[in-house]
């Protein structure tokens, strides 16, 4: 072997992290791995960092404005999402859209929607701590690429998956949390509202209405101060 060839073995300029298919949670996915969302989506669809990849029809990466100022993070795809490859397209997704529309927010302009886990857990069970940890690098890359000012975390699993805060959602909903320089608000998961539809003052739907108005107000405040 020529010394030229030998030397080239030490040249890692041709090695690209993006070429590494993440088949094991031990393979790191550092920040800046992906240059855009389609590249990240391609890896998610080949991913076996946890067992959830074995049963997926589609990895569910996200939908909405790729430069949205507001990101909504859910738990994991359900059946409709697994079939379509799009997050929040079932009943709870329809309710989420209505909640956003009630304060004039939409996925066309202001919002990007994604999940802690990209693949559907069997029987829609809650993803395990290991499954959430295996998928977290993708979410961190999505946050870097979209660069939202505000992140809404729907339900305790989303809060735990991103921030590791294990408190119950009724305790922390409606409170702003600062996470890595971004404003996050835990809110109820829409599926919880579907199970608890009462609109009485102090009930889940009423509380959600307070929270989404607070989100709208904060968004308007940020928009003004950015001008």
| Positions in the binding site for ligand URA (CB under 6 A) | 60, 74-78, 81, 87-88, 90, 92-93, 115
Helix pair 156-163, 129-146: axis angle to 10 deg: 80
> How far are the Cα atoms of 31, 64, 73, 180, 216 from residue 70, in angstroms, in the given order?
20, 10, 10, 15, 10
Residue 189 Cβ, how far from ligand URA at the closest point, in Å? 6
Say if strands 177-179 and 150-154 run parallel, antiparallel, or are unpaired: unpaired
Residue 78 Cβ, how far from ligand URA at the closest point, in Å? 5
Residue 157 Cβ, how far from ligand URA at the closest point, in Å? 8
Tokens of 216: 């709208």
Residue 195 Cβ, how far from ligand URA at the closest point, in Å? 13
- Closer residue to ligand URA in complex, CB, 33/113: 113
Residue 207 contacts residue 93 (beta carbons within 8 Å)? no
Please report the sign of the dihedral spanned by the C-alpha atoms of residue 112, residue 165, residue 56, residue 97: negative
Residue 138 Cβ, how far from ligand URA at the closest point, in Å? 14
Q: Rounded to whole angstroms, how far apart are CA atoms 24 and 191?
A: 31
Residue 211 Cβ, how far from ligand URA at the closest point, in Å? 17
With CB atoms as reference, the residue minimizing the distance to ligand URA is 74
- Closer residue to ligand URA in complex, CB, 78/204: 78
- Closer residue to ligand URA in complex, CB, 33/211: 211
Please, which contacts does 124-132 make with residues 24 or more away whose CB atoms are closer than 8 Å? 124/76, 124/78, 124/79, 126/75, 126/76, 126/157, 127/52, 127/75, 127/76, 127/157, 127/161, 130/25, 130/50, 131/50, 131/51, 131/52, 132/157, 132/160, 132/161
- Closer residue to ligand URA in complex, CB, 88/219: 88
Residue 110 Cβ, how far from ligand URA at the closest point, in Å? 18
48 Cβ contact list (under 8 Å, min separation 6): 22, 23, 24, 54
- Closer residue to ligand URA in complex, CB, 33/118: 118
């Amino acid at each position: 072997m020529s010394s030229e060839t030998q030397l080239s073995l030490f040249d890692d300029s041709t090695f690209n992290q993006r070429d590494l298919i993440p088949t094991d949670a031990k393979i790191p996915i550092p920040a800046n791995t992906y240059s855009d969302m389609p590249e990240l989506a391609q890896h998610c669809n080949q991913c076996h960092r946890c067992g959830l990849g074995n049963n997926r029809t589609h990895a569910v990466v996200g939908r909405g404005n790729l430069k949205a100022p507001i990101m909504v993070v859910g738990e994991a795809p359900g059946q409709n999402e697994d079939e379509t490859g799009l997050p929040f397209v079932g009943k709870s997704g329809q309710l989420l859209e209505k909640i956003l529309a009630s304060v004039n927010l939409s996925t066309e302009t202001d919002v990007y929607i994604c999940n802690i886990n990209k693949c559907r857990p069997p029987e829609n069970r809650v993803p395990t701590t290991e499954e959430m940890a295996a998928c977290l690098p993708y979410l961190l890359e999505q946050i870097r690429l979209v660069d939202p000012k505000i992140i809404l975390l729907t339900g305790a699993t989303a809060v735990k998956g991103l921030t590791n805060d294990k408190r119950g959602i009724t305790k922390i909903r409606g409170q702003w949390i600062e996470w890595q320089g971004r404003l996050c608000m835990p809110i109820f998961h829409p599926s919880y509202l579907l199970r608890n539809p009462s609109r009485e003052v102090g009930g889940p739907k009423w509380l959600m209405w307070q929270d989404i108005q607070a989100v709208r107000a904060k968004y308007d405040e940020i928009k003004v101060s950015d001008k």
